[in-house]
Structure formats: structure tokens, C-alpha cells
Structure 1
Amino acid sequence: MKNEADIQFQLGILRRDGYHAAAGIIESLQGKVSRKAEMDYLKEFARQGCFDEELSRDQLRCLWTAYCLHHGLDADTSGYDNDLLELWDVVAEEEAETADWSDHDSFENYMCRYLV
């Protein structure tokens, strides 16, 4: 991965050569976490979580909410539903039933609370 000085140098070249829009796009992308990386984090959190505890369930829901906001996912859209199903598959392997969910539908209702 390139260091910050290299990135700034390359952005300066783009600006100097008249590619201001490209430089702006690159700058706006800096510091953003990729959708895949964030989903991988969510899955690992689900694998390691103990969802018998309310705090862990709440943390998962808050992480999911942040993920949806970061990536512009609205509840009950195909992207949202596909990603939630992907997360559910991991959760179901570890702990399919808790006080807040017992199947995919109840998991979906639980997870979208702060998004609708």
C-alpha cells in the first residue's frame, strides 16, 4: 500500500495536469472501508460473538446499521436483503436462536430496527 506522501504527490500531478475531478474522486475515496472488508468484519464479529448476551446482540445490530449507512443500503432492497442473508448464514451457523431472533425473519426484523 502506498504511503500518504506518495498519494499526495500523485494527487498533485493529477491536479497540475488538469485532472481535478479525478483527484477529487481519489481524495473522497481515501479513508473509506470497502464494502467487502466491512462485511468480512461483521461476519467475524458474528463468529466470535456470544449472542446470549444482550450487549453482543446490540453491538451486532449497531455494526450492521453503520454498515448500511456507509454503503447506502436501504431496508427491503435487494442489496440489503442479500447482504443480510449472507450475515444470517454466518450467525445461524454459530447461534441461530437467541432472545431476539429464532429464524431469518425475526433476525431481519431485529437488525433493521434503527434503519426504518
Structure 2
Amino acid sequence: MEVRWQWRFEGGDGEALVQQAVVSALKTRDPAAGKSTDDFETQGDAETWIGLFWRPLLDAGVVQVVLLEDGREVYGPMSLAPQTPRSAPVQEHGVADISRAEQVTQEESTS
């Protein structure tokens, strides 16, 4: 028996969305999505596909996804929302202090 890999699409409340409605909305937004989302042959194929089409899915109302192998949850839910970049640390020290920190780091790496 051949293993089937699928994504379950979920809204913000964690409820599963109707697969066909999501696929139709996705194809409207991005015709390149063309591949059916029901028949990935490998986990890698499924993960590559989600990596390519997460933004159109998000635009179509999918908030998170769960990867399924023959109906069994493999992992998830995984948010499709982009992560906000961490803000840079506040610099409290001057150039001399930074140079000293770099020197200490170099000394530690050679010890």
C-alpha cells in the first residue's frame, strides 16, 4: 500500500477548513499551485509544496497546517504567519566597548 502525505488546512480557531474550497481559492490566487494537495508521494514533496505556496494559502484564509501521513498526524499545527524578526539588541556601549568585546571573544576562541 502506498503512503499518502497530505496537509490539513486550518483556520485561526484550529478548525479544519474544507480542502476543496482552499484548493480552489489557492488556484485562483496562484495558478502555479496546480498540484493537487491530496497526493504527495513523499514527506519531502509535501514540505517542498508548502514551502512554495504558504503565502497564497495564508492569503486564502489558511492560518496553520498539519502534516498527515495516511491520515495520522505527523506534526503540526504549524503556523503560516511570517515570523516577526527579532529586533536588534539595544547598543548601550560605545565603539571602544565593542572592540573590547571582540577582543575577548577572539581570546576565548584561541584558548
TM surpasses 0.5: no
Structure whose CA Rg is larger: 2
Structure whose residues are more often helix by fraction:
1
Structure whose residues are more often strand by fraction:
2
Which of structures 1 and 2 has the larger relative contact order (alpha carbons within 8 angstroms, sep 6+)?
2
